[in-house]
Every structure is written in structure tokens, then in C-alpha cells.
Chains A and B, each alone.
Chain A
């Protein structure tokens, strides 16, 4: 790791040199660059706020769904739908709502941005909480019950620790999802109006708009640095710490499946800094312990009151839910009772072309990720050098790369129509490919060494090895990756099929385009927005229910590697 630290120092030196040169050559750019740390702070603050909201939501929602069977009947399908809809489509509605609530103040837009990021983070974390709570080993539950752990004590000693590993892992995923939407939402055109809040995403978009290549590079560089710094100082330590909360199912020695947190193994660990930090937070830890003891006592003293509060809480949630459902039904009824807007004729064709675009991006992604994952998964030495590069590349949200991709497409095709088509596919590709790659690598790494050795001892090599060992072992993780990748793909269409800040705006026909022009027109066509989003939801849900789920079920039986 020392070598890596040395390299990081060299990198920092080079960055400073470049910065000085740029400042000398172009004072305006230098002024912009000086503001960058502030922008980074703004953007990160939005992310942190949204994450904290998501955390509270995920624990409350997941815990209720796991412990209250009656509530679960409603809560789980809702979560399922929320998780599969392209949320970017709802941003205009949220924006409209929040801006109308705080007229003439940027707070409305800030709320909308944080809300959008929240919607990209919360669902999979809630699912993580639900899954870990429902998979607590029966004996551990029984031990907790027979030793009299109840209420708050049960939550503190059993439920909360049990959710930590999955919660941290899903948080890492959610956090990178969040960047995608943060960048997309800091500059947004809707209702014929431009909304923007200062931040890294806005900086990159502005640089792209004015064709300032150095600015684009600088913005993306700073974004990558922020993402990596957070990985180093927050997620990696959290991931290592969360390992402690992993379940051991039996007393038998189980072959260790490589943990997803080993993802960040190559990041420097900064032992001295960490020690200082740990000493600094020690008083907080002690205070937490004392507080939790006091909470134990308070809880047992006020058990009845707390139960009543929980029922009240649940009742309120049900009321809000009913309101939302009623509003939705009324909206839908109104939509289908009134004559459809003329533009609705284009929906089927738009859906088809969007689908083909995603399928193309998916095929390209598969073509390079499968061989690479097979290689990386089996070559620890090669992966040591390649993984950091890939992870830095993957840490950049596709929305931030938009100016570069569009610029490249314009350069490569030299005319607007094909350029728009190329950039739309490329953005979809960049949103989809990393989910596939990292899932596939995990799949290959999870092949037990016994199986590999058995294959080797029977002389299985080349194509036979691929057909009998590698590909079957990849199937489950390929399916998991595909579901996430397609979800990300639909969101990418919304930003990629119509790029409003260039003039003339490049566009291709598709659902994303239809949605965008209905949103950007003044006044916005509400009926068309709703119809397009509905169309997307139907396609996504249909693919999940009719394609991915059945495939996954079959794969789970046939290709699961028993450990």
C-alpha cells in the first residue's frame, strides 16, 4: 500500500502543477476552478441529506415490513414497483410541487433535488433491511426470544446489527446511484424554464454548454476525487467494520465467499489518520454506550406508551398511503376518461425504438464485460492493477460524462441525427455496463476452489471449461446485474434522448424524448407525461415479472453453487 500512497502523492503534485499552469493561462477558468471545492461541498451536502433521509426511511420501512405481516402485504408490492420505475420521470412533478410550496425561493428546488436523490437511494436500502431481517437464522431468533430480548433491546442487540452488512452494501450502491441523479438534477429544464442550483453537476453542465473542455475535465476530475475520497474514508472503513456483523450460519467451516467490500481493497488505508480519528470519536462511542443503557431503561419503563406511538405512526402512514393511492386512481381515471392527446399515437413506436436502443447497449455491454469478468475473476494479479482503474471509471456517473459523450458523438459522425443516436446509445451503455461487470466479477470469484480444481484435474480446458464451469457460474450474477442495468438504462434514456441545453437540441425518437418534450413545453402536457411514464413502468414491470424473475428462479435452482 505504501507504493500506492507514493503514487497518490505524485498524482497530487501533478494536479497542482496543472492547476497553476491553467491559472496562469486562463484567469477566468482559474476563478471557476477556485469555486469548485465550494460546489463539491454543496453537492456532497445534498447527497448526505438525502442519504440520511433514506437511512431513516429504509430502517423504518424494512423493519415494519419484516415484523408486521399484515403491513407487509401492502408494503412489499409498493416497494417492488417503486424500485423498478424510472424515477427521473417523476422529477418534474416533484419539482413543480416543491417550487410551488416555496414560491420565489431556491429552497423549493433544493428540496426537489434532495427528494430526487432520496428516491434513487431509499428503495434498495429498505429491501436490504427487509431481507436481512427475514433471513436472521431461526436459532438466533429463538435464542433472543428465550433469553427475553424484547422491544428496544431486541432491536439494539439483534435486529439492527443483523441488518448492518446488507445495509452498508446497499448504501454503497445507493450512493453511486445518487451521484447519477444529483448531476442530472442540478440543472434541469421544465415548464419552459431553467432550474439550476450551484454544484458539481451544474458546473460540468455549464462547461459542456460553453464548450470549455478544460472545465469539463476539471469538473469530472473533482467529482471523481470526491467520490474516491468518500470511498476511502467512509465506505471502505464502514465495509470492513460491517464484516463483523455477518452471520455464521452453522458451526461448520464454510468456504469464504469473497465479500463485496473487498471491492475497495486497493484503496489506501491511512492508518495514522484513522487512529487519530478513532481516538477523537472515542468519547462519542462512550456516550453512545451510556445513552443506549439509559434508553434500555427508559424503554422498559414506558413500554406501553412507545407501543401506542408505533401504532399511531403506522396509522398515519396508512392514511397517507390511502391518500396517495386515491389521488393516483383519480388521476388515472381522469386521464383515461378524457380524450387521449394526439401525440399519444407515437407511444408504441417510441417504446419500440427506446427498447431497441437499450437492447443494443446491453448487447455491447455483455460482449465486453463477460470476457473481462472471466479474466479478472481468475487472475488476482491482473485484477490488482485493473480493478482500481475500472472502479474509478465506474465511479463517474453517466450523467457527468454526458458533455464528453455528446462531444465525441458529434465529432465522430459530423452530423446531428446520427450523433444524437450514437450518444443516446453510449449514455445508455455507460449507465448499464458497470452493473454487469462488477456483478459478473463477483460471480466468477464465488466459484469454489474445489470446483476449479475438479475441472482442472479432469482436464477441462478452453471451451469446455467455459461451457461447464465459467458460464453456468456466471448466470445468477448475470441476471442480478441485468435487472439493475436495465433499470439504470431506462433512467439514462430520459437524459440521453433529448439534450435540451445544446442548440439545436439533438434528439432521437423514443420514450425519453416524448417525456422530455412534454415536460419542457410550456404549458407542460400532463397527460402525455403520465402516459409516457406509465408506458415505461409497464415495460419495466413486465420485463421483471415475465423475463427476469422466471429466469432467476430457474437459475437459482440450477446454477446455484452450494457452499
Chain B
């Protein structure tokens, strides 16, 4: 049998303050295979962002472990890329330089990384803005840069932490559709997507599988396969059936 891409095994996370333990995440376990688009949904404060930080190796779990391709995850793993809610663009670097960031860290020479960066800048529709600085871009364009930067290292797994939450609703919806288009293109990375969001509708709109977390401490309440055909229509009763079901699980 083929190895799953990502294995999250009994992950627990606690913070300690004055000797008291605050449990944030409790025994989270799931697997991610190739061609999975998974959303983690939960109320705010359920530790879903912490979970993502643990999964990409930015924080160690208190117990349990995260395996990527069968071995423990490392933060600088070039096969995992991250998109941030706050975009996390380097304000002093141009769009191209931001997109090249991961390639530069891998030691790829400038002549080789330039065309790769431009390919992904084109893919997210930012042609013509290669030399702009982040502060000159609108929120939606900034997040496109964040997306291009993540795709440029051609990761197997793309992790997104509330990527649309700082955008206005219209921009967010456009970007969601574009992500689905990129996802549908088999020539482009990634092989799997893991996204964290607090918006149930967003999760049902995007994901093949939705994982529902309860709040404080975050526990896995349910894992649901969303079998709606794409493109999905928010106005259909089936769509709302899923939203209502997840909503009742959280509340």
C-alpha cells in the first residue's frame, strides 16, 4: 500500500503557565493522501492555527508526532509550503523577490529561479507587477503573491492558514475560485492542500473532506466527505445541508 503523504498521530499541545496546564489540542489524528483537499473548521480559539503550525513543523507538539512522507516533519521542508492570513510578505522585497524566497533559500542561482518565479506570478494573474513592492498592492493581490511564493517551491503539500480572512468578501470569493482552478490543473503543484478556516461555508465550498474541531481543547468531532459535484453552488439545498450539519456539530 502507498504511504499517506501526511500522518498526524495523536498530537497533543499544552501551554504551561505558573505550573498550570492549558490544553489546546487533544489527541488529533488524521491522514492526508495525494489529491486530498482538506479543510479544518472550528470556532475561534479551538487551536486550529496551532495545529497547522505543528503540522508544518513551526512548533513542536507536546506529545504525538507528525510524519511527512514517513519521516518526522521539519519546518524548512521544501515540500511543504505555507500561506498566511496576514500574507507575511517581506515589505522590503519586490513581488519577484518575495516569490523567489524559498528558491533562494534552497541555493538555486538567480538565473534559474527568475523564470520559475515568473511562471507562478503569471499563474496567479500578477503579470506586470513583478517589480512592485507589497505595500503598493491591494489585499487580494498581496495574497496572490503569498500563493505564488508558496507554489514556487513546487511543494507536495500546500498549507493555508485562514488565507481569505483578511480580504473583503468579493475578493475572497474570486481568489477561492482561482485556487480551485489552479488545483484542477494537474501540471501545477501541489499534490494536496490542507487549509484552516473558521468559515463553514468556505470549507464546504472548497474541500473534499472537512474536519471539525471542538473548542477548548480542540478535539476532532467529525470527519466528513463532501461529495458535492464541482463547481459547487452555494444556493443549492445540498450545499446548505452540509453547512447546517457542520454548524450543529460545532454548537
Contacts and interface: CB of A to CB of B under 8 A. Distances in A.
Interface in A209-264: 244-252
A177 to B, nearest CB: 28
B76 A145 contact: yes
A161 B76 contact: no
B87 interface: yes
Given A147-B101, A244-B133, A297-B107, A140 B90 contact: yes
A164 B90 CA distance: 13
A142 B88 CA distance: 8
Interface string A110-139: 000000000000000000000000000101
B76 A245 contact: no
B199 interface: no
16 contacts: A137-B86, A139-B84, A139-B85, A140-B90, A142-B88, A146-B82, A147-B101, A149-B105, A157-B104, A158-B90, A164-B92, A245-B92, A246-B91, A251-B166, A296-B104, A300-B107
Interface stretch (B38-46, B134-142, B189-197, B237-245): B134-142
Contact of A248 (B58, B82, B135): B135
A296 B143 CA distance: 28
A249 B92 contact: no
A295 interface: no
Contact of B91 (A145, A150, A153, A247): A247
A164 B149 CA distance: 24
Contacts of A244: 91-92, 133
A251 B102 contact: no
A300 B106 CA distance: 10
Nearest to A249: B86
Q: Give the interface SS of chain B, mostly helix, strand, loop or mixed.
A: loop
Contacts of B142: 251
Interface residues of B, number: 36
Contacts of A252: 139, 166
Nearest to B167: A251
A164 B104 CA distance: 22
A143 B93 CA distance: 14
Nearest to A162: B92
Contacts of A297: 107
Contact of B102 (A142, A147, A158, A247): A147
B163 to A, nearest CB: 11
Nearest to B80: A146
Nearest to A242: B92
B56 interface: yes
B153 A248 contact: no
B216 interface: no
Nearest to B166: A251
Contacts of A150: 76, 105
Contacts of B116: none
Contacts of A20: none
B84 A293 contact: no
Give the residue among B53, B84, B167 with the most A Cβ atoms within 10 A.
Answer: B84
A137 B82 CA distance: 16
B186 interface: no
B111 to A, nearest CB: 11
A250 B107 contact: no
A462 interface: no
A143 B76 contact: no
Given A146-B82, A148-B105, A248-B135, A139 B88 contact: yes
A246 B133 CA distance: 12
A142 B153 CA distance: 16
B110 interface: yes
A300 to B, nearest CB: 6
B217 interface: no
B81 interface: yes
Given A146-B58, A164-B92, 8 more contacts: A140-B90, A145-B58, A146-B80, A147-B101, A148-B75, A148-B102, A153-B104, A157-B104
Given A139-B86, A148-B106, A248 B91 contact: yes
Given A161-B92, A247-B91, A251-B139, A143 B166 contact: no
B66 to A, nearest CB: 14
B243 to A, nearest CB: 26
B109 to A, nearest CB: 8
Contacts of A300: 107
Q: Which are the 10 A-B pairs with shortest beta-carbon distances?
A: A148-B76, A148-B105, A251-B166, A139-B88, A143-B88, A147-B102, A161-B92, A251-B139, A146-B82, A139-B84
A246 B107 CA distance: 27
Given A153-B104, A293-B110, A245 B91 contact: yes
Nearest to B87: A251
A251 B56 CA distance: 23
B159 to A, nearest CB: 8
Interface in A373-408: none
Nearest to A297: B107
Interface in B121-155: 133-135, 139, 142-143, 149, 153
A491 B56 CA distance: 53
A150 B107 CA distance: 11
A445 B127 CA distance: 39
Given A148-B76, A161-B92, A300-B107, A142 B135 contact: no
B141 to A, nearest CB: 10
A143 B92 contact: no
Interface string A246-287: 111111100000000000000000000000000000000000
Given A146-B82, A147-B153, A293-B110, A137 B88 contact: yes
Nearest to B53: A142
